[in-house]
Structure 1
Amino acid sequence: MLKDYLPWIIAGLVVLALVIGGLVLTRVVPEVAATRRRRPRPPRDHFRNGDEAPAPLKRAGVVVNPTKYADVPAVRDRITAACLANGWDEPLFYETTVEDPGQGQAAQAVRDGADIVCTLGGDGTVRNVASALVGTETALGILPAGTGNLLARNLDLPVALEAAVAVALTGRNRRIDVGELVIGAAPMDDAPDESGDPETHYFLVMSGVGMDAQIMAGTNENLKAKVGWPAYMVSGLKHLVSPEFRIAVKVDDELEFRRRARMVVIGNCGRLLGGLVLMPNARVDDGQLDTVIASPRGVVGWVPVATRVATRQRKGHPTLDHKTCKEIRVRTDRPVPVQIDGDVIGEASEVSATVRPGCLTVRVSQ
């Protein structure tokens, strides 16, 4: 008889087991789920292998002309403090020498990994440092420390040291033109060539032959150290009656013309010392050069020239001719002094200048 009810008994036990199992699951599963929900979430970098290293700080290379300061270590400390205050690493310092006035030091700064190369000196130091940066992506920072600081003035950069450091580190990049000057070639007519082998130089402000180079060469360094840029005016007064020379000038593809002159100035920018503007329309990024040919006769002849410069007129008097070009060649009847950004580099019977548009990056104010 038990045999007849055995299937029903087994079926009942199975049903009972399922009911009990369901009751157990309805209590255990929520508890497990709740336990899982209460488990703290691991931190975001829990599964990372070690901490990530912080990004390295940027570093500036500063090329210093030690002749501009009596206490160079104190100035270096001020620059270092300014760099740290602006979130940069301690700068790398390089000093210019008579043998190498800045180009080699700038190249070394780039090799050392400097994010920007700054100059602490005058326009000559800026020119030499820039020569190593032309055509590269490395920016030039200008910390004015010279008498003229003409490039800084034309770019409206601050002269105060800490402010200049801040602009160099946090300013914006601006591409500017550079003038390329080749010195030495065939002179006019049959005059003897005493200029030697051709030399190539860069200029950022102005280059010139004749009276302006004589003014630079004749400026007393002790007086310049005491009174600053007015020392150039004293030298200028001494050379107002400098000898004339004959020139042959070729501008771009135009025909060559000839005349007498006392000076020829080829500029990448036009602002001079003391607020004077020699070339009112010159811009550092216009892709062209501006040339002024001055040919006044005697001291009285400089009066209209000075008036035109003071009033910033581009045209208006035959004794001061203005040319705009991409390339210019000037030949003289005899060797005359040549200056590049205020540095007199000798004499030559021919100079040729060409603009190199936008080939230098300079850090300027925002």
Structure 2
Amino acid sequence: MVRNYQIMINNSSGFVLNTGEVSIRRAIEQSELPYQAIHFLSPQDLTEKLSRMRPCDQTVPLIGGGDGTIRSCAMALMDKDIPFGILPMGTMNLLAHDLGLSTNLEDALSAYARPHTQTLTIDVGMVNNQCFLCCAGLGIMPKASRYREKLRKNNDLSLYPKLTAFILEHMNPDHFKSLVIEIPPSKRIRMRTASLVVSNNQFTEQTAPGESRFKKATLQDGQMAIYALKSKGWLEKLIFFSKLGLGGWKSDPLIEEWTCREAIIKAKDDTVLVSLDGEPTEMRTPLKFEIKRLRLKLLIPGTSLENTEACT
């Protein structure tokens, strides 16, 4: 089925700022993608426009942005039964990798221009009534995201060395948070950790060159996974950090993992900084996590369905 798209792009995404709206518009116009309109919108205007949409068989939204943008769009659309497509324009594009989507704009446009797109229904993670499609993180993850954005705004050319140093520094026990994890029916875990991540479905071990190091085999398993970083010496931390880039981090001795359908995470503070698909957000404690099975409809090119196990 050939669809007619409404293309809506986050005008503040890093890809748009680096590539330029004119070049992106030209790439869309030169592609064979059938579309009704192209909108470059602020994040707020984008979600407001989506919230006013009604189900329509002929025109569907095709969203350009990173994981945080896609999360916000999911919040606006998942109760409307409106599927939407994704043009990956973020830093990590974790959801795109999970779905087997190309992160190259021209290739993504070409894929959606083909007639064999299908609707895929995926699980959605929830924490205190906020959704996440990839993962929610406490500790290093949201702090590093804020620090990265600060460096970007200052056009700091040494962004990656500084970010690496920042992450290694925050693996120091001085930055650990005291948390309690409660997993029904009776599991209760007390810990101090530099980083805790709750993922929508489990990550798989990835060591092949070119593969995302944070990929899932499926987004339809109805399970969350909780990953916590244990405290060890500097050598062990350096080895673990290298595995984040090279692969193998999931089986590292510093990582503890639990799976569940719901969990409560308690902290000493009234509020904690949480990364929701890469977007740092202050949230009140306790954090109540659950997974909504097969809750969100996405539009996926047929080639992506063939290339990823997440869609089986």
Shorter-chain TM-score bucket reads: 0.7 to 0.9
Q: Which residue of 1 aligns with 2:138?
A: 209
2:12 pairs, out of 58, 67, 70, with 67
Query: Comparing 332-341 with 122-131, which one deviates more in the overlay?
Result: 332-341
Q: Which residue of 2 aligns with 1:254?
A: 186
What is the aligned-residue RMSD (CA, Å)? Answer: 3.3
Q: Aligned ranges for residues 14-93 of structure 1 at < 5 Å?
A: 58-68=3-13, 69-70=16-17, 71-82=20-31, 85-86=32-33, 88=34, 90-93=35-38
Q: Aligned ranges for residues 295-306 of structure 1 at < 5 Å?
A: 295-297=230-232, 299-303=234-238, 305-306=240-241
* Cα drift, residue 230 of structure 1: 7.8
Q: Which residue of 2 aligns with 1:172?
A: 118
3-state SS in 2 of match to 1:67: coil
Query: Comparing 299-308 with 227-236, which one deviates more in the overlay?
Result: 227-236
* Cα drift, residue 265 of structure 1: 0.2
Q: Measure the CA separation in 2 of the matches of 1:158 and 1:201.
A: 27
Unaligned ranges ≥5, structure 1: 1-56, 183-199
2:152 pairs, out of 221, 231, 240, with 221
* Cα drift, residue 305 of structure 1: 3.9
* 1:307-364 per-position Cα deviation (integer Å, ceiling 9, x unaligned): 77655375563x4210111111111122432110000012543212111111112223
CA contact (8 A) 1:330 1:351 kept: yes
1:236 aligns with 2:181: no
1:330 aligns with 2:265: yes
Structure 1 residues 243 and 282: CA distance shift in structure 2, 3 A:
farther
Q: Which residue of 2 aligns with 1:194?
A: none
Q: Measure the CA separation in 2 of the matches of 1:118 and 1:209.
A: 30
1:364 aligns with 2:300: yes
- The size of the alignment, in residue pairs, is 286
Q: Measure the CA separation in 2 of the matches of 1:128 and 1:249.
A: 27
Q: Which residue of 2 aligns with 1:94?
A: 39
1:134 aligns with 2:52: no
Structure 1 residues 311 and 75: CA distance shift in structure 2, 3 A:
closer
1:161 pairs, out of 105, 113, 116, with 105
Q: Which residue of 2 aligns with 1:51?
A: none
Q: Measure the CA separation in 2 of the matches of 1:101 and 1:227.
A: 33
Greater C-alpha Rg: 1
Q: Measure the CA separation in 1 of the matches of 2:56 and 2:301.
A: 26
Q: Which residue of 2 aligns with 1:245?
A: 177
Q: Measure the CA separation in 2 of the matches of 1:333 and 1:275.
A: 38
* Cα drift, residue 209 of structure 1: 1.1
* 1:279-300 per-position Cα deviation (integer Å, ceiling 9, x unaligned): x766311111111011224534
Q: Partner letter of residue 136 of structure 2? A: S
Unaligned ranges ≥5, structure 2: 303-312
